[in-house]
Amino acid sequence: MILTVTYNPAVDQTIQFDEPMRPDRVMRTDDSRFDAGGKGINVAQFLTALDTPCAATGLIGGFTGHFIREDMQADGVETDFVAVEDPTRLNTTALADGEEYKLNHNGPKVTPDIADSVVDVVRKRDPETVHIGGSLPPGLSTDAVDAIATAGDWRTVVDMEGSKLRQLDAQYALCKPNRAELGEATGADVSTVEGCAHAADAFRERGFDRVLASLGGDGAVLATGSELLFAEALNVDVVGTVGAGDALLSGVVAAWEDGADDATALQTGVAVSSRLVEQAGTAVPAFEDLATLRDRVTVRKLD
């Protein structure tokens, strides 16, 4: 079983406009949606849709926290959250005239001892794999992430911004930066696919058995220690990119749980991500044709 941990979840509001956004006028639209969000939240929803056993924990509070719990339960995701006093944050993505604008809250301020309650939940669940994803709310440091990774024998997967990845001290089974985060974490030139692959491979030495890097329209690379794999992105109509990296990671992890090899897992991740970006928001898309989509993904080894 996989347990996802989201220390700083969010309600994702996605609004679509038919015209460019302007600073001097009120923009109005009837096209909007709300989704439970945050990296671990997204991963738990995608894994559940992919029939991979999982549950979700983390910190939630207020009316937005209530929405997240209800939204996830409606999707069939098992939850075991820790309550905090202040409301969970609200993040807004505005899609207008082909542009994407993201406005994110920092999240509610918490005290470091709240991480102990999350560790208690993880110990109680005793999963085979723990996924820790997203930003940290004000009051928490990467010590809260290392605390989970060192609290049991589970495999720990981490997906955080590059500067935070550099601050981790524990050993992790996998980390999943995007291109910008990989460049931030390593200081390497990530302008090319080959540069990203070698940066991912070098970053393994900082305490990660494997590194999976999402490269947007270029695809994804996976550094395993024995090989560097590159999967090309599929040519699909992109509506929104929020949650695309989470979808990639979910597909890879779900495939590994089914016993797939690394190349097949990477194909699956790109297929899942491709299906997500064809819609606005982070709601779980339909995966009925996932096998056919996966077979269209080209994977090759890099030197």
246 flagged as catalytic: yes
Question: What is the secondary structure of 63-91 as a DSSP string?
Answer: HHHHHHHHHHHHTT-EE--EE-SSPPEEE
Q: In DSSP terms, which residues pair with 5 in a beta bridge?
A: 57, 132
Contacts (Cβ under 8 Å, ≥6 apart) of 36: 9, 11, 12, 45, 67, 68, 71, 72, 282
Residue from 12, 71, 246, 262 carrying the catalytic annotation: 246
Query: From start to end of 81-232, where are the E strands?
Result: 82-83, 89-96, 99-103, 129-133, 155-159, 172-175, 208-214, 220-223, 228-231
Contact 58, 121 (CB under 8 A): no
**Dihedral sign for Cα atoms in the order 273, 279, 285, 288:** negative
Q: In DSSP terms, which residues pair with 57 in a beta bridge?
A: 5
* Interatomic CA distance for residues 233 and 217, integer angstroms: 6
Q: In DSSP terms, which residues pair with 60 in a beta bridge?
A: 83
Q: Residues for the chain: how many in total?
A: 303
290: tokens are: 């996932």
Three-state secondary-structure class, residue 99 = strand
Contacts (Cβ under 8 Å, ≥6 apart) of 130: 2, 3, 4, 5, 122, 148, 149, 154, 155, 156, 157
* Interatomic CA distance for residues 54 and 232, integer angstroms: 28
Residues with active-site annotation: 246
